[in-house]
Structure 1
Amino acid sequence: MHALVVDDSRAMRRIVAGILTNLHFETAEADNGATALAELEQLTAADTVPQLACIDWNMPVMDGLQLVSAIRADRRWRDITLMMVTTESEHGQIVRALAAGAHEYLIKPFTADAMADKLRYLGLVPAGVGA
């Protein structure tokens, strides 16, 4: 399975990608929403549309909420599971993200087990596969 990790923090991209790699995902990375859309275009052209995108909210150029809306507006990407991975913990922000089309929401800081649990809930990680 493939995943796209979108975060302006290189360290956070590495952490999330490491967790996903341990869960048997192949990962690609982007540092903001606009870069993520370009990466999705390339992955789509290579016939490797990711099953999952882990998206930070606060990024320059195009933020995570704008990215979620852009992905949901493109038919080619309607099957990508979108999970916000962000410090935004206000209830209103969570509601906005879910209303825009995110499937799940993980608040930073988090543990590898917490991410694995969310992905199990979404049906993307089989039971017994640990972080």
Structure 2
Amino acid sequence: MNVKEFIKNSYLRPWDIIIIVLLTLSSFLPLVVFGIQNTAQEDATKQAILKVDGEVIKVFDLKEDGPTYTYKYEAADGDYNLIEVSGDKIRIVETNCGDQICVQRGWISKAGETPIACLPHNLFITVEASDGSEDGSLIY
């Protein structure tokens, strides 16, 4: 049995085949759209924002070929966090809080990614993009 005989004996009509092909191709449309959005996000400038008690303490520029350096935040009561910036990513390397969850969190580098949080010190580090790709982003 060849293809023509199969189609002739089945309940499929020519327009049915066209509709099936169009639906199959359109199922890949979200993959293309989100792929384009992700490449646009990679081109945006990113900044990491260090906030303590809701107050912005420092803003770090995150660039892919940027330098690697550390920043030490010290509170008046002796709490400290050692923050490392390496190119386009940021993390907490060392802290004197008890649970060390913020150190175990590791690197963040994408806008909208779950922020680094040191709850005993009420310290948060978030990454924001300049292209408006997520809510509350920086727009120049």
* TM-score (ref. length: structure 1): 0.27
Higher relative contact order (CA 8 A, sep 6+): 1
Task: Give the number of the structure whose residues are more often strand, by fraction.
Answer: 2
* TM-score (ref. length: structure 2): 0.26
Task: Give the number of the structure whose residues are more often helix, by fraction.
Answer: 1
Larger-Rg structure: 2
